[in-house]
Amino acid sequence: MEHTIAAISTPMGAGGIGIIRLSGETARAVADKVFRSVSGKTIEQASGYTALYGHIMKGERVVDEAVALVFAAPKSYTGEDVVELSCHGGAAVLRETLRLTLEAGARPAGAGEFTKRAFLNGKMELTQAEAVMDIIHAKGDQAARAAVAAHEGALAKRLNTMKDTLVNTAAWLAAWADFPEEEIPEVEPAALQERLAPVTKDIARLLATFDSGRIMREGVETAIVGCPNVGKSTLMNLLCGHESSIVTHIAGTTRDVVSEEILLGDLRLHLNDTAGIRETDDTVEQFGVQRAKDRLATAELIFAVFDGSRPLTDDDKELLTLCKDRKAVAVLNKSDLPRKTDEQVIRSYIPRVAVLSAKEGAGVDELQHHVEELLSLTDFDSDCGMLMNERQRDCAMQVQKCLQECEDALQMGLTLDAVGVSLDGALDALMELSGERVTEEVADQIFHQFCVGK
Ligand SMILES: Nc1nc2c(ncn2[C@@H]2O[C@H](COP(=O)(O)OP(=O)(O)O)[C@@H](O)[C@H]2O)c(=O)[nH]1
Ligand SMILES: [Mg+2]
């Protein structure tokens, strides 16, 4: 029997309600020791999906007013008996209530233990369980949609289709090899290849979504760079909607890196406004310039800002060479003034140019559009099931590798035994991906990344 676990399942801080969650065979009995309903009915007596109103009691002292929600096994999140005690959301009250449940026989839940139990009890597949954490941490709409789709089983479903094909093919191979006297259609290499092709294709497609998915979840490290006075800080302030960086007409105003997190459309950007890059004798400014160059070197995305109202300078040109072949959008700023910059020169280094007036707030749509294209987010479909983490990606790559070996073996005319071995390898990796054949250690590792109470 699994021990009954308890945890505070809502964030610690002042809130309208806070929830203590209990799960396990004795969850109701434990809850009855700390909760007294107004009606006199006990939690043991309550049927699933009902609520009781009453109080958390320490002996005869009222700790808080509370509602107890009862979920009877197996129709609960974890598949076990679950009781949720909704108290007021104060840290002291929640801690005391938790302590009382522990004294009444529960033990503190480990990180992710509720969801781990749900997985072990067959309430959800591994990829759905993993998505719980992604839902909790999703910040943008797209990321949340992708996580919810995964939790609803979009990826699991996609993997199942692949698995069916692999299992059928492996069975066909095995039957033909093991029962030559039966009337089993001969296994032709071409027919095998044809069967495996859709799986190979879908694995490749899944792997291709990984980067855009990661960007949607985690956001992009973005550096705003350019010469002094081109309007970097004004752009920063425009994008984050408040005066984050100091803006003046004096060159060299921004000296340190100023960082902000913003949403550009659905995409999260970790924006870094930097000092203007130029040759300078000022020691402090030199440090700033070095930091700007460091950010430029490590950024995943670059906004290279130019002052469109004046011709390109040597410093501008040096910046252009630094941005060549990087993921960069050239921002041709100050579009409210007459244009004096040679756009063609810029384009020869940075093909994507957004014409913008940071001061007047015009042209952000164009910038957003360029960013989405640059990061291949325009055909991002968050509903179709995608790989959400490194573990899943590693497994998918293993599937791909094994399928490639199958293909090679068929091409080289190797025996069907050899093909069968690679096919089994692909199936193993696929089942590890879906969680059907996941080891205890891997499961533990996954759930440890959760926080307590989930
Ligand atoms: N006309 C015009 N002036 C701008 C624009 N963006 C910035 N500026 C001005 O350019 C000067 C330098 O701006 P700032 O953002 O501090 O530039 P930074 O040194 O690149 O960070 C300030 O006087 C801004 O008001 C713009 O789009 N149009
Ligand atoms: Mg600045």
pLDDT at 200 over 80: yes
Q: CATH: 1.10.10.60, 1.20.1200.10, 2.40.10.10, 1.20.120.430. Which one for 141-214+389-436? A: 1.20.120.430
358 lines ligand 1 (CB under 6 A): yes
Q: Can you give the chain as a three-state secondary structure string?
A: CCCCEEEECCCCCCEEEEEEEEECCCHHHHHHHHEEECCCCCCCCCCCCEEEEEEEEECCEEEEEEEEEEECCCCCCCCCCEEEEEEEECHHHHHHHHHHHHHCCCEECCECHHHHHHHHCCCCCHHHHHHHHHHHHCCCHHHHHHHHHHHCCHHHHHHHHHHHHHHHHHHHHHHHHHCCCCCCCCCCHHHHHHHHHHHHHHHHHHHHHHHHHHHHHHCEEEEEEECCCCCHHHHHHHHHCCCCCCCCCCCCCCCCCEEEEEEECCEEEEEEECCCCCCCCCHHHHHHHHHHHHHHHHCCEEEEEEECCCCCCHHHHHHHHHHCCCCEEEEEECCCCCCCCCHHHHHHHCCCEEECECCCCECHHHHHHHHHHHCCCCCCCCCCCCCCCHHHHHHHHHHHHHHHHHHHHHHCCCCHHHHHHHHHHHHHHHHHHHCCCCCHHHHHHHHHCCCECC
Q: How far does the centroid of ligand 2 lie from the alpha carbon of residue 246, in Å?
A: 7
- Indicate which residue's Cα is closest to atom 8 of ligand 1: 231
Give residue 369's pLDDT. 95
Furthest CA-CA distance within the chain? 89
Average pLDDT over residues 18-35: 97
Min mean pLDDT across 199-203, 313-317, 345-349, 385-389 is at 385-389
Give residue 442's pLDDT. 80
Q: CATH: 3.40.309.10, 3.40.50.300, 3.40.50.11740, 1.10.3720.10. Which one for 219-374? A: 3.40.50.300
Cβ pair 375, 301 in contact under 8 A:
yes
Q: Per residue in 296-319, pLDDT tens?
A: 999 999 999 999 999 999 999 999
Average pLDDT over residues 341-350: 95
Residue written as token pair 């995305």: 301
Band of pLDDT at residue 348, cut at 50, 70 and 90:
very high
Q: Per residue in 128-175, pLDDT tens?
A: 988 888 888 777 777 788 788 888 888 899 999 999 999 999 888 888
pLDDT at 180 over 80: no
Parallel, antiparallel, or unpaired for β 353-355 and 328-333?
Answer: parallel
- Ligand 1 closest atom vs CA 335: 27
Q: How far does the centroid of ligand 1 lie from the alpha carbon of residue 223, in Å?
A: 17
pLDDT at 176 over 90: no
Please give the class, per CATH, of domain 5-109.
alpha beta
Average pLDDT, the chain: 91
**Model pTM above 0.85:** no
249 lines ligand 1 (CB under 6 A): yes
Band of pLDDT at residue 252, cut at 50, 70 and 90:
confident
- Indicate which residue's Cα is closest to atom 2 of ligand 1: 334
CA angle (261, 263, 268) in 5-degree steps: 70
pLDDT at 45 over 90: yes
Q: Per residue in 413-448, pLDDT tens?
A: 878 888 889 999 999 999 999 988 888 888 888 888
Give residue 393's pLDDT. 94
Domain ranges of the chain: 5-109, 141-214+389-436, 219-374
Q: Give which of 104, 107, 89 is closest to 19, Cα–Cα.
A: 89
pLDDT at 186 over 80: no
Give residue 441's pLDDT. 81
Give residue 1's pLDDT. 65
Give residue 329's pLDDT. 98
Share of the chain above pLDDT 90, in %: 64
User: Which of 236, 238, 247 best tests ligand 1's pocket when mutated (most atoms within 8 Å of CB)?
Assistant: 247
Q: Per residue in 47-59, pLDDT tens?
A: 999 999 999 999 9
- Ligand 1 closest atom vs CA 237: 15
CA 354 to CA 351: how far, in whole Å? Answer: 10
Share of the chain above pLDDT 70, in %: 98
The Cα-based distances of 174 to 168, 178, 424, 430, 442 in angstroms read 10, 6, 11, 19, 30
Residue 213 tokens read as 């998915």
Average pLDDT over residues 29-45: 97
76 lines ligand 1 (CB under 6 A): no
Q: Per residue in 85-129, pLDDT tens?
A: 999 998 999 999 999 999 999 999 999 999 999 999 999 989 898
- Indicate which residue's Cα is closest to atom 19 of ligand 1: 229
Q: Per residue in 350-386, pLDDT tens?
A: 999 999 999 999 999 999 999 999 988 876 677 778 8
Give residue 242's pLDDT. 86
Give residue 255's pLDDT. 82
- Indicate which residue's Cα is closest to atom 6 of ligand 1: 231
Q: Per residue in 68-84, pLDDT tens?
A: 999 999 999 999 999 99
